[in-house]
Amino acid sequence: EAQVTQNPRYLITVTGKKLTVTCSQNMNHEYMSWYRQDPGLGLRQIYYSMNVEVTDKGDVPEGYKVSRKEKRNFPLILESPSPNQTSLYFCASREVGTSGKNEQFFGPGTRLTVL
């Protein structure tokens, strides 16, 4: 089954404790992206990657890091989480150079709470 998986699905942590949210896709997509979703603000892009070892900032990259060492994986790293990073996070992937039904395919989400 074609899918994007994220782990963990739920996480409660404390300020300053480094954490990683993993994202993996089995569709051999070149493009992967991270979004956060907040009430009244919608989905905002954090970082994206056009392919292995190619990453770039989205609209709200402060406080986050990413890496793309393998095509299928795109982890999101919070080196020193703060309460304003409490949010619902989504990973997404798509093929590059296509559109329509191959628009971004989203994972199930990770709900993060930073105390």
Binding site for another protein (CB under 8 A): 4, 31, 33, 40-45, 48, 50, 56, 58-59, 90, 92, 94, 96, 99-101, 103-109
In this complex, which beta carbon is closest to another protein, that of residue 19 or of residue 106? Answer: 106
CB of 45 to another protein, least distance (A): 5
CB of 34 to another protein, least distance (A): 12
Cα–Cα–Cα angle for 98, 94, 28, nearest 5°? 105
CB of 78 to another protein, least distance (A): 20
Cα–Cα–Cα angle for 9, 69, 97, nearest 5°? 90
Number of other residues whose CB lies within 10 A of the CB of residue 100:
5
CB of 62 to another protein, least distance (A): 17
The backbone region for 42, taken as left when phi is positive above 0, alpha when psi lies in -120 to 50, beta otherwise, is: left
CA atoms within 13 A on the CB side of 50: 5
Q: Would you give the DSSP letter of residue 107?
A: -
In this complex, which beta carbon is closest to another protein, that of residue 16 or of residue 108? Answer: 108
